[in-house]
């Protein structure tokens, strides 16, 4: 196990590290796995700050080579880390994520969300956002689980959610990081994803022809919960070829 790269699982915004629970054991059987929980981080308002924090954690753990697996905002952090410390990265997986920057409409939407979080707290934001993370299939087959996730993530600190929103709105385009990467790249997209729409994932795939791709037909924005076995197998297959 010591000769294999570590796996770093970076969760997205509005959730916590528990989203990886269904794939963690399968990945940890063959690799060292780091699963930081960033959901209470309130002091970072740029992706670079999140990335440097994660880099310090990996340095402290004496990890010199790793596969970064970033879900949604976790993908933005992974891209920032790969941009700043490319020698650390032996592979990068974007899961329900993108390398494109926000457009103006998205930035304005995030600013409204920050204002809502400051005025109303986490509950209303999570109640509105988390259900949109799941695809139609999961909603139909697991409505109680959707409600449980809404309840769990409603406890996330509003100031941490606000900080993440500001960091997402200000992040730069990092398509060139993928195009120029010296390490393999895997893009996993959800066909039913409302937050990173499949059409946008197709644009990214077209822009990064060197990337490997997997499409989750029955998943929304939380493929790691909706189709965990398929995500785990895709990651294991990707890593086995490094």
What confidence category does residue 3 fall into, taking pLDDT thresholds of 50, 70 and 90?
confident
Contact 82, 103 (CB under 8 A): no
Give the model's pLDDT for residue 2: 56
Whether the predicted pLDDT of 1 surpasses 70: no
Cα(174)–Cα(176) distance, rounded to whole angstroms?
Answer: 5
What confidence category does residue 33 fall into, taking pLDDT thresholds of 50, 70 and 90?
very high
* DSSP string over 136-174: HHHHHH-HHHHHHHHHHHTTS-HHHHHHHHHHHHHPPP-
For residue 142, list its beta bridge partners. none
pTM for this one?
0.97
Q: How far is CA 73 from CA 29, 90, 182, in A?
A: 26, 20, 22
Whether the predicted pLDDT of 242 surpasses 70: yes
What confidence category does residue 206 fall into, taking pLDDT thresholds of 50, 70 and 90?
very high
pLDDT tens digits, one per residue of 38-69 = 999 999 999 999 999 999 999 999 999 999 99
pLDDT tens digits, one per residue of 149-163 = 999 999 999 999 999
For residue 185, list its beta bridge partners. 92
Contact 95, 70 (CB under 8 A): yes
HEC assignment per residue over the chain? CCCCCEEEEECCCCCCHHHHHHHHHHHHCCCCEECCCCCCCCCCCCHHHHHHHHHHHHHHCCCCCEEEEEECHHHHHHHHHHHHCHHHEEEEEEECCCCCCCCHHHHHHHHHHHHHHHHHCHHHHHHHHHHHHCCHHHHHHCHHHHHHHHHHHCCCCHHHHHHHHHHHHHCCCCHHHHHCCCCCEEEEEECCCCCCCHHHHHHHHHHCCCCEEEEECCCCCCHHHHCHHHHHHHHHHHHHCC
Instruction: Please give the mean pLDDT across all residues of the chain.
Output: 97
Which domains occur in the chain, in start order?
A: 6-240 (3.40.50.1820)
Torsion over CA: 227, 233, 237, 242 (sign):
positive
pLDDT tens digits, one per residue of 71-97 = 999 999 999 999 999 999 999 999 999
Q: What is the mean pLDDT of residues 124-131?
A: 98
Give the model's pLDDT for residue 30: 92
pLDDT tens digits, one per residue of 165-190 = 999 999 999 999 999 999 999 999 99
Residue percentage of the chain with pLDDT more than 90: 98
Query: Cα 213 from chain centroid?
Result: 16
What angle is formed at CA 86 by the lines to CA 160 and CA 5, rounded to 5 degrees? 85
């Amino acid at each position: 196990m010591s000769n294999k790269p570590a796996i770093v699982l970076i969760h997205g915004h509005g959730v916590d590290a528990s989203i990886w629970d269904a794939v963690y054991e399968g990945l940890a059987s063959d690799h060292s796995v780091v699963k930081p929980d960033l959901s209470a981080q309130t002091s970072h308002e740029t992706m670079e700050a999140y990335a440097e924090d994660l880099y310090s954690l990996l340095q402290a753990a004496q990890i010199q080579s790793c596969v970064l697996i970033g879900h949604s905002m976790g993908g933005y952090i992974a891209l920032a880390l790969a941009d700043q410390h490319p020698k650390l990265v032996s592979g990068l997986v974007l899961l329900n994520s993108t390398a494109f920057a926000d457009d103006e409409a998205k930035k304005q939407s995030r600013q409204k969300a920050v204002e809502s979080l400051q005025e109303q707290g986490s509950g209303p934001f999570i109640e509105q956002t988390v259900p949109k993370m799941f695809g139609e299939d999961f909603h139909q087959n697991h409505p109680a689980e959707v409600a449980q996730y809404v309840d769990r993530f409603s406890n996330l600190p509003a100031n941490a959610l606000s900080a993440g929103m500001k960091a997402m709105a200000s992040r730069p385009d990092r398509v060139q990081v993928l195009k120029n990467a010296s390490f393999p790249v895997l893009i996993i997209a959800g066909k039913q994803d409302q937050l990173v729409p499949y059409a946008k994932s197709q644009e990214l795939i077209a822009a990064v022809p060197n990337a490997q791709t997997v499409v989750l037909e029955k998943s929304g924005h939380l493929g790691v919960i909706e189709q965990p076995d398929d995500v785990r197998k895709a990651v294991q297959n990707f890593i086995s070829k490094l």
